[in-house]
Every structure is written in structure tokens, then in C-alpha cells.
């Protein structure tokens, strides 16, 4: 989940923070002066301190306001979606939030990846439903980015297998394995994935 664990599970480590260092009035003033991105960054720093103090109402407020100040602040979208999904069981809203983020950030691979993870919903971790077509589309889009991690296309293959399109999943992986940039370590993982798909494993 993109390393956002730093901003949760700190309720037992309060630092005695009183009123927010970055007040809403100060944020609004910065925005009016044309420093919206600076305001968003300061609010993010305050949010991190508040999360360590267990002040979750302030965390929520900040994560809702930061994208208003700076719609390209991807980490705020990702973290808010994570909290919605993991702690509030508002799984559909988490996906909707990331889709909202995509409207102005189509070039951010991590948004597509996270939508894919939520919609694939392997093991039912992200609620009672799955949206496999949406997951497949998201993983394909993520894997098409330059520098996409090698496992991304395996996520697409796992989604195809979850849809019982196992022949397509194997064909996809074999195509990837023919690429010259595929390292031996990755080829071994690809072969293992093909074996799992052919075994009938449920994804």
C-alpha cells in the first residue's frame, strides 16, 4: 500500500500536540496569496504529526482539504483511500476517490495500481465485492507506464485467472517473458505464476 503505514496505527504514541500548528485560517490565507501548493505541503506535515498523536478527526480534515488545495497531491488521495478501505470499511468510496484523483492525474501509475488492487480484492480483504473487469483495465494501464514494476503484468494475469480466462493469462505472461529486458529472477517468478494459474489456483 505504497508505504503509507506511517500515518496510521499511532494512537498509542501521542505527543501531546495541542492546537494545530497549521491552522485552517493560515491555510486559507496562503491559498488566497497564491501559495496553495505550499499550504498543502504544510498541511501534510501537520497531518503526519496529528496521525502520530491519534488525532484522527484532524487527519481526515487535512486529507480532505489537501487535494482541494493541490489536486496533484497524490499521496493525500492514496492515504485517504487507504484509511477509507482499511479502517472505515468504505471500500467503494476508496475506489471512487482514486477515480476522482485520476481525472487530473492520468499519468500517475500508482493510482491505477491501487484501483486494480482494490477491485481485484484478492481474498476479500477490500470488502464483499469484486470488480474484475475494472481491475484488469487498471492493471493493464499501470503496466503500460514506462518503468512499471515487473510484477504489474503478473497482476493483470492474476486478474485474468480470477476471471477464469486462464489461457489468456498464460499467453500474456509468455509474451512478457520474451522481452529482452526481463531478468532471470523475473522469469523464474513468471514461470511460477504460470504454474499456479495452470494448477487451477483461485485468485
CB atoms within 10 A of CB 26: 15
C-alpha–C-alpha distance, residues 189 and 98, integer Å: 29
In tens, the pLDDT along 126-156 reads 999 999 999 999 999 999 999 999 999 999 9
In tens, the pLDDT along 70-129 reads 999 999 999 999 999 999 999 999 999 999 999 999 999 999 999 999 999 999 999 999
C-alpha–C-alpha distance, residues 79 and 84, integer Å: 9
- What number is the average pLDDT over the span 60-64? 93
Amino acid at each position: 500500500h505504497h508505504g503509507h503505514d506511517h500515518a496510521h496505527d499511532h494512537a498509542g504514541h501521542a505527543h501531546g500536540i495541542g492546537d494545530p500548528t497549521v491552522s485552517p485560517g493560515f491555510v486559507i490565507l496562503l491559498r488566497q496569496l497564491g501559495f496553495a501548493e505550499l499550504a498543502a505541503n504544510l498541511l501534510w506535515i501537520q497531518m503526519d504529526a496529528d496521525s502520530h498523536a491519534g488525532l484522527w478527526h484532524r487527519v481526515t480534515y487535512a486529507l480532505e482539504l489537501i487535494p482541494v488545495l493541490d489536486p496533484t497531491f497524490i499521496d493525500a488521495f492514496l492515504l485517504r483511500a487507504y484509511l477509507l478501505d482499511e479502517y472505515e470499511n468504505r471500500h467503494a468510496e476508496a475506489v471512487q476517490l482514486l477515480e476522482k484523483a485520476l481525472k487530473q492525474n492520468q499519468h500517475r501509475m500508482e493510482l491505477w495500481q491501487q484501483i486494480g488492487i482494490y477491485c481485484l480484492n484478492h481474498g476479500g480483504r477490500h470488502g464483499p465485492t469484486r470488480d474484475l473487469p475494472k481491475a484488469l483495465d487498471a492493471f493493464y494501464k499501470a503496466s503500460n507506464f514506462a518503468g512499471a514494476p515487473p510484477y504489474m503484468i503478473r497482476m493483470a494475469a492474476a486478474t485474468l485467472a480470477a476471471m477464469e480466462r486462464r489461457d489468456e493469462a498464460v499467453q500474456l505472461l509468455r509474451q512478457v517473458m520474451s522481452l529482452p529486458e526481463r531478468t532471470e529472477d523475473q522469469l523464474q517468478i513468471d514461470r511460477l505464476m504460470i504454474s499456479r494459474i495452470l494448477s487451477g489456483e483461485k485468485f
